[in-house]
Structure 1
């Protein structure tokens, strides 16, 4: 399979933001794109937006926290559209969690959606791709998973779990013919980030993010992280000892 043989693409979290922009960008390239999210109306609206493009969007409503439904949806897509050659597991949510608002349910819900929502699809999908000896899988995490950040103890932990999962999986996939990419965006304008009350440095539009992701997937980069200036700064923070890191982050965030 060539690097861009994306005859059938599956995108989760496709109803808004990066997922929606990526679905439309791939449809312009002539791909058949299966789009999944919980919101049926939003998926149908996206299908309408894609009318007249070289490719087609096909809605497959799905709650990625439902393990059985994930396997059933994959089987339905492959029965109706053909084998999935590229999957972008992008479903996720965010919730800032201040110390006074801590509750177990918040941690459970974000881990079930952001982390287990990826695992629920990756397991049956990789089984199929291994049988074919080819395929491409992309997992959307976040630069928030690099190190602990204020009010991100739930969200950041779920994204850190995805980063670790992808790093381990990259080692396990050697020799299988399956390409894996880890997508770590900075701030991208989406309905989720629109709720943020703080300044977001280097904020990107979803269409710009989608273009950067496609470029990285074409080159089969393991990590696709952007924007580079923001990512570079956060990667430097990963190298700092705690004695420097904690005071610096408190000063930057004015805590």
Structure 2
């Protein structure tokens, strides 16, 4: 039986991954900030008594460590850890109030990825030779090239991609596979507040099915959906002059200061 620990599990990609793994019979550790959402998810899954719920903000390293330790003690061996928790919000460097937003995005998207993986690695090394072990970082196509008005988000996801690559090489001989998944536009609460066209928008359940297959295969890096993978490859080789001319006119995600109270940055990882 597979044991899976997922952060940002209360909605979006995290919830969809939880449902996909639970349908396969996995035992889950579900971590997020919203108890009501987590409990509703747990109760809706097959064999809800198997799964553990942890109401934790991933920027609280002590609480995150405690949750990881509890899940390891409960299930003995953890096979998949998905660092999915993240926030996306527009930022402008010239706006002084956005400096704090930069900090929050980087802490949630990058630092929490490191803090999520850290408690599991030493334990995984003891059994990675006998059972598949995966550490899964959720990047984004937005981390391939910097997007205007999204400096914090693009920087955080570019850092997640590079960090996971470093960790993958670092752990190569241990038997632990580090998998980086870069979503394109996935239909979740995070993208539903965008007021601009989103090419190749993918239903979140379809994304989760493809992501689970990618994780099981132990692929080092994959963009989902594949069409955005083609776009990502083109973006990598596009000359700066061309990229700048095209994307300087791209629409901006709304800044936190410009959003209504009901439209605060949503949990997710696209």
Equivalent residue number for residue 13 of structure 1: 8
C-alpha separation between the residues in 1 aligned to 2:221 and 2:8? 19
1:38 and 2:33 aligned: yes
1:96 and 2:90 aligned: yes
Equivalent residue number for residue 74 of structure 1: 68
Query: SS of the counterpart of 2:51?
Result: strand
C-alpha separation between the residues in 2 aligned to 1:230 and 1:7? 30
Give yes or no for contact 1:187–1:200 (8 Å, CA) kept in 2: yes
- The verdict on how the C-alpha distance between 1:216 and 1:51 changes in structure 2, with shifts beyond 3 A counting, is closer
- The verdict on how the C-alpha distance between 1:249 and 1:75 changes in structure 2, with shifts beyond 3 A counting, is same
Equivalent residue number for residue 222 of structure 2: 224
Greater length-normalized contact order (CA 8 Å, ≥ 6 residues apart): 2
TM-score, structure 2 as length reference = 0.86
Please provide the CA RMSD for this pair: 1.8
Give yes or no for contact 1:145–1:156 (8 Å, CA) kept in 2: yes
Q: 2:248 aligns with which of 224, 247, 250?
A: 250
Equivalent residue number for residue 138 of structure 2: 140
Give yes or no for contact 1:133–1:178 (8 Å, CA) kept in 2: yes
Equivalent residue number for residue 185 of structure 1: 183
- The verdict on how the C-alpha distance between 1:254 and 1:159 changes in structure 2, with shifts beyond 3 A counting, is closer
Query: SS of the counterpart of 1:182?
Result: strand
- The verdict on how the C-alpha distance between 1:33 and 1:163 changes in structure 2, with shifts beyond 3 A counting, is same
C-alpha separation between the residues in 1 aligned to 2:251 and 2:46? 48
Equivalent residue number for residue 266 of structure 2: none
C-alpha separation between the residues in 1 aligned to 2:251 and 2:102? 25
1:148 deviation in Å? 0.6
1:87 and 2:85 aligned: no
Q: 1:156 aligns with which of 145, 151, 154?
A: 154
- The verdict on how the C-alpha distance between 1:143 and 1:254 changes in structure 2, with shifts beyond 3 A counting, is closer
Moved more, 65-74 or 55-64: 55-64
Give yes or no for contact 2:222–2:229 (8 Å, CA) kept in 1: no
TM-score, structure 1 as length reference = 0.91
Gaps of 5+ in 1: 1-5
1:241 deviation in Å? 2.3
Gaps of 5+ in 2: 253-270
Equivalent pairs, count: 248
